[in-house]
Amino acid sequence: MWHIDDAAKAINALAKAKRVVLGLDLRQYAEDGTFFEYAWSIYDEPGGGNAERARQHALAALERDDLPGTWVLVTWRSPT
């Protein structure tokens, strides 16, 4: 999980390492430590996916104006 300001760098590094970003969840913490988590993007491509297309999909999701959190949980997998 990365702060929203660092999430794009993490996504780019994962793609460079040929990891496929499967999805992003956005998390917002309250002062008492509880949090809300929102499923924000899902990348699903037949044949296992492509690291570059997955990267582009994830970065586009981060560019949306209505981000409901300041932390990004990135789910990824190794190439098949």
Q: What is the pLDDT of residue 79?
A: 75
Which DSSP string do the residues of the chain spell out, in sequence order? -EEHHHHHHHHHHHHHTT-EEEEEEEEEE-TTS-EEEEEEEE---GGG--HHHHHHHHHHHHT-TT---SEEEEEEE---
As for how many domains the chain has, the answer is 1
Does the predicted TM-score (pTM) go above 0.85?
A: yes
Q: What is the pLDDT of residue 56?
A: 97
**What is the domain range of residue 73?**
2-77
* Mean pLDDT of each 10-residue bin along the chain, 80 residues long: 97 96 96 96 86 96 94 90
Angle between helices 4-16 and 51-62 (to 10 degrees): 170
